[in-house]
């Protein structure tokens, strides 16, 4: 018997089950139930528990089955869970749902390309979680009925404000070590979230599922945003949370396809989602007007400070640095609603370098692009994960290692194949610090980053002179239209340039150590030679 069948047989006459309730009705129910407060312009403000203001990687698990265990890259990111422990979670989830007067079910889809869309069934006791899935997941796309996943729905059960009995789990099987769990059973097509109220855990759980199933169909899943120019040219922006995917891709001169999750296959790219989930801390109403104006009726403002009169304060970080807003893609205004496009000609790797070492822009060769894709360097920013209070250098494969459950070779080979086939040019853009490291220098000015990105996308950097950075093995432009050339070289922005070299050498050493520990011998020699510090 499936989870849904068990749930339906368990519900009593006193409990009400809402199935695919209209979005406007979910907004009303969420306000009536006190799950959110009404903010200015009609946004719904909500607050999560202190331990639920970001993802919790240590509590995220994948059920280990003999039939599929060889496909998964088990280790410090992909934690295995025994099937019997997951069965305990299912039993507890059913009991928890039974204690509520109402249960909500939504049936949505991931994947704008109907051939590869996945039916996602969400079951939750939270009307606001149900609304979140309506914001973020899609309605049934055309062609889904004959798609490769037709008739194979994936169920996700979400109980954000319940807590697990630690003694029950830790004392027996030790797979669960805290009072929360985020677990996926890929073979049985069900995931369970208990105790984590951060809404990003819902979308990232399903992103992980897509990243598991799509490569087998020849689709490369990417942690990226995408937009399209007037001539139909597609640009992709890869990066971890906090690097600027949403902000940089929200360009009034280019149509947005989506801000976070995409697939790239033989027919081009397609967005997985229906909405955006943007970071709100220090959101500027002028520099980030599209995002600011999208936080209106039906948007969910998560952990944003709100005043009694309903005003949202995006500059107050007392709740968390990771305040977020969930809103429909169409709220941006300048979007391509089909959310599909051709093959990208420009790919930008975004990194928030807290060391202040990397230049604001660099051009990468094919081998350098492959190396940087595998390494996925950035600095984790405060609030994106539980316990992160200031930027920390990190290497996250494919700019999304926590969501990429298969072995790295799978994703790397697909990227190399598609870069060769479609001739995409890759650039690295740093949205991190300039003039020194975090605490000394300042964050890259958004207007500067936007101007550089525009130059990349419009081909203005194609024929300028470049200088090779021998330490990091990439090429830095000596000029960029409307940009002070002294800003293009990181070292010249440091007041005391003698302090630059030790920081640069350390970062290059971090690259080398991480590469040799994780990837040496697993990639071609030409790619290995592109590793900084080697």
The CATH number given to 3-32+58-197 is: 3.40.449.10
CA distances from 254 to 251, 257, 258 (A): 5, 9, 12
Structure confidence at residue 521 (pLDDT): 86
Residues of the chain with CATH 3.40.449.10: 3-32+58-197
Residues in the chain: 534
User: Mean pLDDT across the stretch 507-514?
Assistant: 94
pLDDT tens digits, one per residue of 314-328? 999 988 989 999 999
CA distances from 276 to 56, 137, 258, 259, 293 (A): 21, 10, 7, 6, 13
Q: Quick check: 74 pLDDT over 70?
A: yes
Residues of the chain with CATH 3.90.228.20: 226-276+337-528
Strands 346-351 and 234-238: parallel
Structure confidence at residue 341 (pLDDT): 97
For residues 526 and 534, give the distance between their C-alpha atoms in angstroms, rounded to a whole number.
12
By the 8 A CB rule, do 482 and 492 touch? no
Q: What's the predicted TM-score (pTM) here?
A: 0.92
User: Mean pLDDT across the stretch 288-312?
Assistant: 95
pLDDT tens digits, one per residue of 247-278? 999 898 999 999 999 999 999 999 999 999 99
DSSP structure string for 366-410: HHHHHHHHHH-EEEEPTTSBTT--S-EEEE-GGG-GGG--B-HHH
Would you name the residues annotated as active-site residues? 55, 204, 223, 241, 245-246, 260, 324
By the 8 A CB rule, do 261 and 109 touch? no
The CATH number given to 226-276+337-528 is: 3.90.228.20
pLDDT tens digits, one per residue of 380-418? 766 556 666 666 778 999 999 999 999 888 998 898 899
Q: What percent of the chain has pLDDT over 70?
A: 97
């Amino acid at each position: 018997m499936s989870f849904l069948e068990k749930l339906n047989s368990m519900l009593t006459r006193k409990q009400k089950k809402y199935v695919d309730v209209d979005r406007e009705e979910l907004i009303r129910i969420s306000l009536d139930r006190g799950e959110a407060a009404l903010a200015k312009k009609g946004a719904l403000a909500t607050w999560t528990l202190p331990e639920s203001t970001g993802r919790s990687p240590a509590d995220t698990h994948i059920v280990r089955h003999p039939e599929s265990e060889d496909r998964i890259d088990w280790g410090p990111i992909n934690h295995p869970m025994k099937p019997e422990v997951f069965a305990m979670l299912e039993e507890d989830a059913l009991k928890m749902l039974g204690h509520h007067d109402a249960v909500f079910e939504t049936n949505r889809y991931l994947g704008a390309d109907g051939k590869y869309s996945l039916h996602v069934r969400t079951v939750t006791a939270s009307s606001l979680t149900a609304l979140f899935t309506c914001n973020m997941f899609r309605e049934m796309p055309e062609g889904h009925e004959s798609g490769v996943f037709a008739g194979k729905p994936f169920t996700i059960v979400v109980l954000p404000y319940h807590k697990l009995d630690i003694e029950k789990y830790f004392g027996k099987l030790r797979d669960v070590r805290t009072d929360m769990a985020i677990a996926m059973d890929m073979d049985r097509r069900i995931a369970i979230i208990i105790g984590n109220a951060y809404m990003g855990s819902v979308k990232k759980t399903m992103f992980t599922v897509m990243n598991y199933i799509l490569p087998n169909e020849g689709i490369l899943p990417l942690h990226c945003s995408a937009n399209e120019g007037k001539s139909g040219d597609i640009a992709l922006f890869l990066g971890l949370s906090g690097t600027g995917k949403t902000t940089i891709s929200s360009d009034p001169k280019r149509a947005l396809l989506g801000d976070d999750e995409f697939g790239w296959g033989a027919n081009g790219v397609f967005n997985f989602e229906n909405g955006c989930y943007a970071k709100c801390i220090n959101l500027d109403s002028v520099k980030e007007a599209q995002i600011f104006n999208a936080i209106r009726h039906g948007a969910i403002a998560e952990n944003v400070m709100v005043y009694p009169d309903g005003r949202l304060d995006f500059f107050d970080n007392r709740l968390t640095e990771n305040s977020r807003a969930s809103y429909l893609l169409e709220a941006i205004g300048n979007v391509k609603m089909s959310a599909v496009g051709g093959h990208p000609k420009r790919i930008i790797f975004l990194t928030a370098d807290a060391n202040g070492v990397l230049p604001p822009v660099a051009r990468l060769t094919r081998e350098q692009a492959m190396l940087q894709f595998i390494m996925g360097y950035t600095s984790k920013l405060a609030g994106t994960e539980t316990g992160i209070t200031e930027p920390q250098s990190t290497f996250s494969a494919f700019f999304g290692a926590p969501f990429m459950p298969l072995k790295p070779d799978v994703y790397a080979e697909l990227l190399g194949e598609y870069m060769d086939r479609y001739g995409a040019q890759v650039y690295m853009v740093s949205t991190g610090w300039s003039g020194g490291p975090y605490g000394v220098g300042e964050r890259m000015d958004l207007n500067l980053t936007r101007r550089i990105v525009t130059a990349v996308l419009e081909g203005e950097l194609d024929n300028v002179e470049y200088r090779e950075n021998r330490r990091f093995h990439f090429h830095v432009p000596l000029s960029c239209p409307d940009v002070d050339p002294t800003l293009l070289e990181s070292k010249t922005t440091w007041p005391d340039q003698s302090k630059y070299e030790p920081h640069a050498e350390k970062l290059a050493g971090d690259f080398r150590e991480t590469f040799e520990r994780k990837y040496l011998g697993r990639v071609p020699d030409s790619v290995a030679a592109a590793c900084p510090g080697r």
